[in-house]
Amino acid sequence: MSYLKCSKTFVTATLITVSLGALCAFNAMAFDAGEHALIGNTAFARYMENGATSVYPNSIENLEMDVSYSYGQLMAMSGDMYRSIEEIALDDAIVMNGFFKRNRGSLKKCVELEIENIRTKKVYGGCDDIRFVTKKIRYVSLAHDNYSHFAWHNITKYIEMHGKALWFARLAHLKCTDEQKKQDKKGCKTRTKQLKKLVEDSEYDERLSRKYRKLPKLFPRKKFSQRYFNNMSKERMVRLAIFANAFADHYLSDAFSAGHLRVPRSQIDSFVLAMEDPENKKTDKEKEREKGSAVSGALTQFLHNNDGTMTGIKVTNSLGDKFVIRSDKQLFAKMGSSEMSGIVEQHPQLKQPSDAIYKSLKEVFDVIEKGDKAMPKGAYAAFYNVPYIIDEKQSLNQVIQDNIEQKGSIKKAIKSMSQEMQWVFKANTAFGDLDYKQYFSQFIEGIPAMMDDLRQQIEIESKESEIKKRIPAKLLTALKKIN
């Protein structure tokens, strides 16, 4: 029985069997959690040792629960395991409280196990992906909602989240401790008035909506409100700024992974939608629901797994530094090999991402200490370290074509996807006019057009004032030429 003649019932059963594995395999397209955590912890320790005016311990407590995290843990869990600052920083609804409290502790242990394995066993891995799924249900939905981890999207997401962190930092600066209130009552009244004006002019509601007030701990999640910010202590507002910046820095660190440098994530979705709906009969709502489909996930993984995976990609940055970036689970590996080097904090590949995170943290802590006069006026400092490709002739299309040629056939090339993603891709393309190899061939042929669409997207979106202001000119010019 040929694959294409399999019954839909059989394929459905197959999909059910592999769905969890496939979702996990797709979500693994990011720095290993241990890699994120080591980048974050290295940068945080460096700032506290060398640049801190006030020293903050690398143990940041949740705002409403008895749970604390290192900065690296926050970076690792943000975006990949938690969708929003509110979700990780606040308490959970009471019906899930016990489950999720255990969840947070389990996830922290999983991240720490990955760090320990990198350090001592020289291997990547800790808790298997299925355990992550069972410990954090949202991990499954985030697997397909991962635009923000890829080219251009991670840049704009950092701008959004770092901006939030700096806004919280401004509020933290205006807050007075009990001791400050005693020493400068009048000054603290002025600062409180300034803070309330900032909060009042913000996008947040004055207070929680009625359903949140009626059932504050039952089904609905808590959210931030103006009243919540006004009532927070200075110390908790500092923590909130750190929580927000960990989210920003997760996406920032993704920009240092080869497989995230130029994969046209949203354009892949558009390609899949066009293949499934060539006459454009689907409504916008239907198209929105199908974002991040299994097929686009598989195709994304293919590009991600083949761009610079072993050889790395030669890059530069706005400072003129020239270096090589590797793919996920290769940050601490020997160059040209998947073998671990045994070096961690002093590994040369750690320098650029940890420098960027250091600068990102410094901007937040400077605003906490000095207020508006420390607010960045132009480009964010971290972006000066963000890499872009030196050799514009070495296009993604050329890299992929070369890889397929080396492997000898489309069938062999597809095997660079995870086993689960191969099954999902083949099953989901089994009922159209094309078989999976023809579908894949059309995808490969469409890469130049997708890259052209990505460049057009960057050209249009970079005109937005906040985005244009925050990206250094050299980086923005390079992004507009992304190939």
pLDDT digits (tens, 9 = 90+) for 71-110: 999 999 888 888 889 888 987 665 555 555 557 787 888 8
Check: CB of residue 453 under 8 Å from CB of residue 270. yes
DSSP 369-390: HHGGGGS--SS-GGGGG--EES
pLDDT digits (tens, 9 = 90+) for 7-30: 333 344 344 334 444 444 444 555
**255 in the same domain as 209:** no
**319 in the same domain as 227:** no
pLDDT band at 138 (very low <50, low <70, confident <90, very high): very low
Check: CB of residue 107 under 8 Å from CB of residue 75. no
pLDDT at residue 318 is higher than 90? yes
**225 in the same domain as 238:** no
Cα–Cα separations (whole angstroms), residue 93 to 79, 86, 104, 129: 20, 12, 14, 25
**166 in the same domain as 46:** yes
Q: Residue 469, SS3?
A: helix
**256 in the same domain as 216:** no
Cβ–Cβ contacts within 10 Å for residue 153, how many?
A: 21
Check: CB of residue 39 under 8 Å from CB of residue 75. yes
Cα–Cα separations (whole angstroms), residue 324 to 308, 311, 385, 388, 475: 9, 9, 13, 10, 16
**390 in the same domain as 375:** yes
**259 in the same domain as 210:** no
Number of domains in the chain: 2
Q: Among 364-378, 408-422, 462-476, which stretch is predicted with the lowest mean pLDDT?
A: 408-422
Check: CB of residue 23 under 8 Å from CB of residue 298. no
Check: CB of residue 32 under 8 Å from CB of residue 76. no
**38 in the same domain as 23:** yes
pTM over 0.95: no
- Assigned token pair, 406: 């080396």
**314 in the same domain as 196:** no
**271 in the same domain as 245:** yes
pLDDT band at 341 (very low <50, low <70, confident <90, very high): confident
Check: CB of residue 44 under 8 Å from CB of residue 34. no
**391 in the same domain as 363:** yes
Question: Please, what is the Cα angle at 209 between 208 and 210, to 5 degrees?
Answer: 120
- Give CA–CA dist 133/96, Å, rounded: 16
pLDDT at residue 132 is higher than 70? no
Among 48-52, 100-104, 267-271, which range has the highest average pLDDT? 267-271
- Give CA–CA dist 238/113, Å, rounded: 28
Range of the domain at 122: 3-175+232-480
